[in-house]
Copies of this chain bind each other. A is one copy, B any other.
């Protein structure tokens, strides 16, 4: 019998992982969900090698378990199935906050290795019907092992991330992850929804270009998911937003001053930071 990877929760991310991991080494990919329409869709579209609604049965057999539920769903699942994982298994998750999840995983027995993860990919859509085999191509895969993590399990998670097409695997701590993600991801979502809150939004349709589309794409977000992600990281997100407000305000000051030279210098400073970042990205990808 082949080894098994159970993907619990065949939503946008779980479905995409199941698709991306097919053929990985000698593992069979088992998709788990509570929704019969989701399982039917997944079976018909071969999202996984096999699908089931029997979570307990699947995780009892699996060498690797990916928890791809909403944050509270992961916390609840870990609590309910704490003694149901196969001894020696690697259990991981894909949640956009890590401190709360790693804390919740402390309920697991010592013979199960939990390593939190966060593939930095997604779209503004949700559900298995929007899953993509190539979702992770070029994405960063963040993982938060700790000193007790089995190096073989860390290496296995890295190989899976590479197999999915990720550009690199970045290691950090749960606390550092949450501080960073407040800025690089959560803040982008608050910006997008705040732009769409403008009373002129509909009046001004027909005048948007790609800068508008790029900034607001993620505003059509999965509300229950992002409510949880924001709430579980609210102080960090608030700090990132405070820095943003200060930076926007500095632009407003120089705009109001009418000093074109100062505006040009300020824009040059910001633009050169972005160009430096682009160069770094190109070097990493080259």
Contact = CB atoms under 8 A, between A and B. Distances in A.
A223 B188 CA distance: 23
Given A214-B218, A273-B197, A209 B227 contact: no
Interface residues of A, number: 90
Q: Which of A217, A234, A248, A256 has the most CB of B within 10 A?
A: A248
A188 B180 CA distance: 22
Interface string A245-286: 101111110011010100110011111011111101000000
A200 interface: yes
A128 interface: no
Taken together, the copies of this chain in the complex come to 2
Interface stretch (A23-31, A62-70, A100-108, A235-243): A235-243
A255 B267 contact: no
Interface of A: 120-123, 139-140, 142, 168, 170, 172, 177, 180-181, 183-185, 187-202, 204-221, 223-224, 226-228, 230-231, 234, 237-238, 240-245, 247-252, 255-256, 258, 260, 263-264, 267-271, 273-278, 280
